[in-house]
Amino acid sequence: MEEPKKRSRRGRTPAVSGRTPRPRQAEVARLAGVSQATVSLVLSDKTTGATISDETRQRVLDAARSLGYVPDPAAQRLAAARNNLLGVFSFTATFPTDVQHSYYPFLVGVEQEAAARGYDLVLFTGSSSGGAGASRPDALSRVRLADGCLFLGRHAPVAELKRMVADGFPVVHLGRRDELEGLPWVGADYVSASAEVVGHLSALGHRRIVLVREDDDAPASTDRQQGFLEGLLAAGLEGGPEAVFRSADPERDLTPERLRHWLDEGVTAFVAEETDTGAAWRALCGAVEEAGLSCPDDLSLALLGSPPGDLVACPQATGFDIPRPELGAAAVRLLAARVAGEEAEEPLVACVFRPGTTTGRPPERH
Amino acid sequence: MEEPKKRSRRGRTPAVSGRTPRPRQAEVARLAGVSQATVSLVLSDKTTGATISDETRQRVLDAARSLGYVPDPAAQRLAAARNNLLGVFSFTATFPTDVQHSYYPFLVGVEQEAAARGYDLVLFTGSSSGGAGASRPDALSRVRLADGCLFLGRHAPVAELKRMVADGFPVVHLGRRDELEGLPWVGADYVSASAEVVGHLSALGHRRIVLVREDDDAPASTDRQQGFLEGLLAAGLEGGPEAVFRSADPERDLTPERLRHWLDEGVTAFVAEETDTGAAWRALCGAVEEAGLSCPDDLSLALLGSPPGDLVACPQATGFDIPRPELGAAAVRLLAARVAGEEAEEPLVACVFRPGTTTGRPPERH
DNA sequence: GCGCTTCAGTAATGCGTATTAGTAATGCGT
DNA sequence: ACGCATTACTAATACGCATTACTGAAGCGC
């Protein structure tokens, strides 16, 4: 016969004197004069497997309330394998000092949608955070505390993501992410939005339009070009390769002479892709100014996106806005679905056309 | 004899087909030919209580690596009785649509400091969030999921906070909160900052200064007035009650006539308290403009704080800035200390004097 | 070769909750 | 009054990991 020596091993003396440890289901049970299992049943409001009388139920609820009982999420998760917690992981700080680059607009939607679905958010700060414990290797494994995790930013560690996807851990990337097979993501519909901008120009009467883009192959760029071309096609305009001006350094290559040449050829409108630097748009605006032209009188300009932060407002550029909060909400919806084991898919989120003052009817030419 | 019927109760069939369950320590142990306890010892790198030969250690490590073992954080936390999680609770949405009113600047510091200390953040969205399950009564108790919790905003529910404090749950309020006995808080030192502004004016040669404030008794207002008076005292200026103009509706009561009257009496500078509406400052600026006066030529103006968002920049107001990120960081430090059971106290955080273009030497008179 | 001390590792828990098998008490029909 | 169903619970376990008491084996001094 073995004497169990109850609770002798790890006498959990409160580390801090005076701190009352959180009440457990066991305490609630004692107070209500029932078993721990009953407490669990009452509190989880399960109808299967057992029935509880209203009177007992009430006693348990009262006891729980009076003790201020709150379930231990770790234990719940361990037992039930879920937590009602969604992770938000960004490799860079979620709240950078420079608000301009922050994920704030996305989080607005993420928070709202998560709250609406009864999830709380856990922010996992990427390993890159300055200060002490930088680059902890476990940063990514901690993520699994949540039921699923949202990844933000282009620096998400591919290898680890792959693993999680392979393990079936629910993961969603905010922003297009095709290269990672099986990684669910939500993104904005740059194609349609770009086509719409072209449609707008076409409706104003423009017949020859040129796209100015940088020389890289990010999906964001490719999508815009595709939308641009589709837009031309839809408007019945010509869309040969000469309609796209691609340059590694648009600010140098897009000279006023070049611009004039296009105008002489009958081009009346230009669209620039949006990038984080805004180089294409800057180049375009710069060249117009240098050439002594004015917009929208001499030519129309449009931006396939939103103007860079430092250029906001001044001349209101025609283009489209990315509905970041909606994107965040869509990501949460998708993630929640995957947590629930569904194979849901979120459609691309539509961008909003933003009329501006940089486009107008093409100038009359003899 | 009871047949244990191993793993029969909760056949953990993968909810989603194709989901490979993560390997456990038990699998690692089997592969390495040791016990689960040994795996735990090796992986946690503990030196106490047991010793492991290098050879065994290596076998375990290899096995873990080859299986891609990742510890289950929930289990770890359950066993260790801590979460490494700090809660952030704001009664209103943490990420409001209107960035102007957000806690963002605080969160910058909160996140950084938390990351540096190895904590992750859980955002508890206050009950006020729109959408479904609005005003869930458990919102506040969920907070206990974390090891401790930060409260933001003046709407923090007093009764619940009291309970938590009484229970010894580590809690810190961001922003002064004297009325709640025993509630630790961090705040900005408005007194010193206000005094410094007065000192600045005095150094410029101003001898009579008037404070314009609203008619409430929030600590933020009281502190500023106290600092104002202390500043006068320190500068050897007169600080009778007539030096403070207090009005429930400054925008109506602060007339151009009133302003001229003060000027005639020899007042050369005015300071306004900062409030969320910015009413006092607006009233002051409005009256100056209406009176056809110009600043800083005819009189000097200073603001005890930062200008309201919509007035940013234009004329750069002399005043001081609240170092919100520092405040956030200080709050986390205090909270971390309390979680660790220390009785730490954070001093007030100093505000930064912000020179501006609204103050200058007093005008020469007769 | 007898105690005694490391050394190396294992068995047996415990953390707090969810789940399910089982049980005692009662009701009901015949 | 017996069997069976229903009601209202409780006992016992599992979840995955950390911890610690304990066990065998080997080494050491005398």
A148 touches chain B (CB under 8 A): no
Asked if B191 and B230 touch (Cβ cutoff 8 Å), the reply is yes
Question: pLDDT digit string (tens) for A35-59?
Answer: 999 999 999 887 776 788 899 999 9
Q: Which residue is nearest to nucleotide C10 (CA to C1')?
A: B35
Handedness of CA A259, A262, A264, A269 (dihedral sign): negative
From the list B18, B20, B21, B37, the residue with the least C-alpha distance to B29 is B37
Chain A, residues 279-298, CB within 8 A of chain B, namely none
Q: Which residues pair with A228 in a beta bridge?
A: none
Burial of A3 (0-12, 13-18, 19+ CB in 10 A): exposed
From the list A17, A173, A39, A27, the residue with the least C-alpha distance to A110 is A173
Q: Report whether pLDDT(B10) > 60.
A: no
The C-alpha angle A308, A312, A316, rounded to 5 degrees, equals 115
Centre a 10 Å sphere on the Cβ of residue B79 and count the other Cβ atoms it contains: 12
Cα separation, A154 vs A173, in Å, equals 9
Which fold, B25-70?
A: 434 Repressor (Amino-terminal Domain) (1.10.260)
Q: Which residue has the tokens 């244990």?
A: B4
Q: Which residue has the tokens 């004329």?
A: B315
**Mean pLDDT in residue range A3-17:** 41
Burial of A188 (0-12, 13-18, 19+ CB in 10 A): buried
A136 touches chain B (CB under 8 A): yes
Question: pLDDT digit string (tens) for A101-133?
Answer: 678 889 889 988 988 887 888 888 754 443 333
Question: pLDDT digit string (tens) for B89-137?
Answer: 887 666 666 655 678 889 889 988 998 888 888 888 754 443 333 334 5
A175 touches chain B (CB under 8 A): no
Helices B54-67 & B36-44, crossing angle to 10 degrees? Answer: 90
Tell me the shortest Cα–Cα distance from B30 to chain A, in angstroms: 20
**Mean pLDDT in residue range A74-81:** 84
Asked if B128 and A128 touch (Cβ cutoff 8 Å), the reply is no
User: A142 and B120: CB-CB below 8 Å?
Assistant: yes
Comparison of pLDDT for B309 and A238, the residue scoring more: A238
A146 touches chain B (CB under 8 A): no
Cα separation, A262 vs B243, in Å, equals 68
At residue A101, the pLDDT reads 61
- Scanning every strand, the nucleotide with its C1' closest to A5's CA turns out to be C13
Question: pLDDT digit string (tens) for B211-254?
Answer: 999 888 888 889 999 999 999 999 999 888 889 999 888 888 89
Asked if B338 and B330 touch (Cβ cutoff 8 Å), the reply is no
Per CB-CB distance under 8 Å, the chain B contacts of A132 are: 116-118
- Alpha carbon A223 to chain centroid, angstroms: 18
- Pick the residue from chain A with its C-alpha nearest to B22: A167
From the list B42, B139, B162, the residue with the least C-alpha distance to B89 is B139
User: Are β-strands B352-354 and B318-321 bridged in parallel, bridged antiparallel, or unpaired?
Assistant: antiparallel
Q: Which range (A222-226, B249-253, B325-329) has the least confidence? A: B249-253
- Pick the residue from chain B with its C-alpha nearest to A325: B97
Contacts of A220 (CB under 8 A, 6+ apart): A176, A190, A273, A274, A275
Asked if B149 and B139 touch (Cβ cutoff 8 Å), the reply is no
Tell me the shortest Cα–Cα distance from B37 to chain A, in angstroms: 16
CATH superfamily, domain A190-321, is: Response regulator (3.40.50.2300)
Which tokens belong to A176? 């297009």
Q: Order the strands of the A318-321 sheet from edge to edge.
A: A244-247, A209-214, A269-273, A300-304, A318-321, A352-354
User: A122 and B120: CB-CB below 8 Å?
Assistant: yes
User: A325 and B83: CB-CB below 8 Å?
Assistant: no
Using the structure, give the distance in angstroms from the CA atom of B51 to the C1' atom of D28, rounded to a whole number: 20
At residue B16, the pLDDT reads 47
Phi, psi of A152 (to 5 degrees): -115, 150
Nucleotides of strand D within 7 Å of the protein's CB atoms: 7-22
Distances in whole angstroms, Cα of residue B315 to Cα of each of A252, B193, B302: 37, 21, 11
Per CB-CB distance under 8 Å, the chain A contacts of B104 are: 95, 99, 102, 104
| A56 three-state secondary structure | helix
B103 touches chain A (CB under 8 A): no
Centre a 10 Å sphere on the Cβ of residue B273 and count the other Cβ atoms it contains: 29
Instruction: Cite the DSSP H helix spans in chain A.
Output: 25-32, 36-44, 54-67, 73-80, 104-116, 139-142, 158-167, 190-204, 219-234, 250-253, 256-265, 279-290, 324-339
Using the structure, give the distance in angstroms from the CA atom of B49 to the C1' atom of C6, rounded to a whole number: 13
A77 touches chain B (CB under 8 A): yes
Comparison of pLDDT for B305 and B168, the residue scoring more: B305
Minimum-distance CB partner of A131 among B115, B143, B168: B115
Cα separation, B185 vs B171, in Å, equals 9
Asked if B75 and A84 touch (Cβ cutoff 8 Å), the reply is no
Per CB-CB distance under 8 Å, the chain B contacts of A337 are: none
Minimum-distance CB partner of A112 among B16, B104, B129: B129
Distances in whole angstroms, Cα of residue A73 to Cα of each of A29, A67, A119: 19, 17, 13
Using the structure, give the distance in angstroms from the CA atom of A32 to the C1' atom of D1, rounded to a whole number: 37
Q: Which CATH number fits domain A87-188+328-339: 3.30.1330.20, 3.40.50.2300, 3.60.21.10, 3.40.50.720?
A: 3.40.50.2300
Q: Report whether pLDDT(B47) > 80.
A: no
At residue B1, the pLDDT reads 38
Identity at A122, one-letter amino acid code: V
Contacts of A293 (CB under 8 A, 6+ apart): A259, A263, A299
Burial of B328 (0-12, 13-18, 19+ CB in 10 A): buried
Q: Report whether pLDDT(A34) > 80.
A: yes
- Pick the residue from chain A with its C-alpha nearest to B133: A116
Question: pLDDT digit string (tens) for A232-282?
Answer: 999 999 878 889 999 888 888 889 999 999 999 999 999 999 887 788 888
**Mean pLDDT in residue range B256-278:** 90
Q: Say whether the peptide bond before residue B325 is cis (omega within 30 degrees of 0).
A: no
- Scanning every strand, the nucleotide with its C1' closest to A54's CA turns out to be D8
Residue B260 host element (H or E)? helix B256-265
Per CB-CB distance under 8 Å, the chain B contacts of A13 are: none
A4 touches chain B (CB under 8 A): no
pLDDT winner (highest mean) among A72-76, A125-129, A144-148, B97-101: A72-76
Tell me the shortest Cα–Cα distance from A326 to chain B, in angstroms: 12
Cα separation, A303 vs A287, in Å, equals 15
Per CB-CB distance under 8 Å, the chain A contacts of B85 are: 122, 145
Mutation test of the interface with chain A: which of B145, B149, B324, B335, choosing the one with the most A Cβ atoms within 10 A? B145
Minimum-distance CB partner of B16 among A83, A112, A341: A341
Which tokens belong to A195? 């086509």
Per CB-CB distance under 8 Å, the chain B contacts of A18 are: 168
Minimum-distance CB partner of A121 among B111, B122, B168: B122
A319 touches chain B (CB under 8 A): no
Per CB-CB distance under 8 Å, the chain B contacts of A66 are: none
The answer to whether B85-188+328-339 and B190-321 have equal CATH topology is: yes
Minimum-distance CB partner of A145 among B73, B112, B116: B73
Give the DSSP per-residue string, A308-348: -GGG-SSS--EEEE--HHHHHHHHHHHHHHHHTT----PPP
At residue A299, the pLDDT reads 94
Q: Report whether pLDDT(B14) > 70.
A: no
Tell me the shortest Cα–Cα distance from B48 to chain A, in angstroms: 15
CATH architecture of B85-188+328-339: 3-Layer(aba) Sandwich (3.40)
Per CB-CB distance under 8 Å, the chain B contacts of A78 are: 72, 74-75, 78
Annotated domain spans of chain B: 25-70, 85-188+328-339, 190-321
At residue B350, the pLDDT reads 96
